[in-house]
Amino acid sequence: MKKTMTAHACQNRVLGAVTALALVSAATMAEAEMLDVEKDELTFGFIKLTDMAPLAVAKELHYFEDEGLYVTLEPQANWKVLLDRVITGELDGAHMLAGQPLAATIGFGTKAHIVTPFSMDLNGNGITVSNEVWEMMKEHVPMGEDGKPVHPIKADALKPVVDQFKAEGKPFNMGMVFPVSTHNYELRYWLASGGIHPGFYSKTDVSGQIKADAFLSVTPPPQMPATLEAGTIHGYCVGEPWNQQAVFKGIGVPVITDYEIWKNNPEKVFGLTAEFVEKYPNTTLAITKALIRAAKWLDENDNANRMEAVEILARSEYVGADAEVIANSMTGTFEYEKGDKRAVPDFNVFFRYFATYPYYSDAIWYLTQMRRWGQIAEHKPDDWYHEVARTVYRPDIYLEAARMLVEEGLVDEADFPWDSDGYRAPTPAADIIDGISYDGRKPNAYIDSLPIGLKANQTVEGTEVVGG
Q: Report whether pLDDT(281) > 80.
A: yes
- Does the residue 19 lie in any domain? no
Transcribe 344-409 into DSSP letters: -TTSEESSGGGTTS--HHHHHHHHHHHHHTTSS-S---HHHHHHHHHHHB-HHHHHHHHHHHHHTT
- Does the residue 162 lie in any domain? yes
- Does the residue 53 lie in any domain? yes
> Do 305 and 418 reside in the same domain of the chain?
yes
**Whole-structure pTM value:** 0.92
CATH number at 193 reads 3.40.190.10
- Does the residue 22 lie in any domain? no
Calpha distance 124→127 (Å, rounded): 11
> Do 60 and 107 reside in the same domain of the chain?
yes
Confidence of residue 380 (pLDDT cuts 50, 70, 90): very high
What 8-state DSSP symbol labels residue 5? P
> Do 301 and 402 reside in the same domain of the chain?
yes
Confidence of residue 34 (pLDDT cuts 50, 70, 90): confident
> Do 309 and 187 reside in the same domain of the chain?
no
Q: Report whether pLDDT(252) > 90.
A: yes
- Does the residue 20 lie in any domain? no
- Does the residue 179 lie in any domain? yes
Which of 265, 295, 328 finishes a domain? 265
> Do 199 and 52 reside in the same domain of the chain?
no
What domain count does the chain have? 2
Crossing angle of helices 323-330 and 242-249, in 10° steps, is: 120
Calpha distance 117→346 (Å, rounded): 23
Residue 195's domain comprises 125-265
> Do 58 and 154 reside in the same domain of the chain?
no
Q: Report whether pLDDT(422) > 80.
A: yes
Calpha distance 314→312 (Å, rounded): 6
- Does the residue 319 lie in any domain? yes
> Do 81 and 170 reside in the same domain of the chain?
no
Run of H or E residues at 298: helix 281-303
**pLDDT tens per residue, range 313-344:** 999 999 999 999 999 999 999 999 999 999 99
- For residue 33, the model assigns a pLDDT of 53
Which of 265, 286, 316 finishes a domain? 265
Q: Report whether pLDDT(64) > 50.
A: yes
Q: Is the dihedral of CA 129, 131, 133, 137 positive or negative?
A: positive
- Does the residue 174 lie in any domain? yes
Q: If we measure between CA atoms, which residue out of 213, 322, 268, 364 comes closest to residue 55?
A: 268
Are 182 and 96 within 8 A, CB to CB?
A: no
**pLDDT tens per residue, range 178-231:** 999 999 999 999 999 999 999 999 999 999 999 999 999 999 998 999 999 999
Torsion of CA 362, 368, 373, 374, to 10 degrees: 120
Which of 249, 265, 281 finishes a domain? 265
Cβ-in-10-Å burial (0-12, 13-18, 19+) of 148 comes to middle
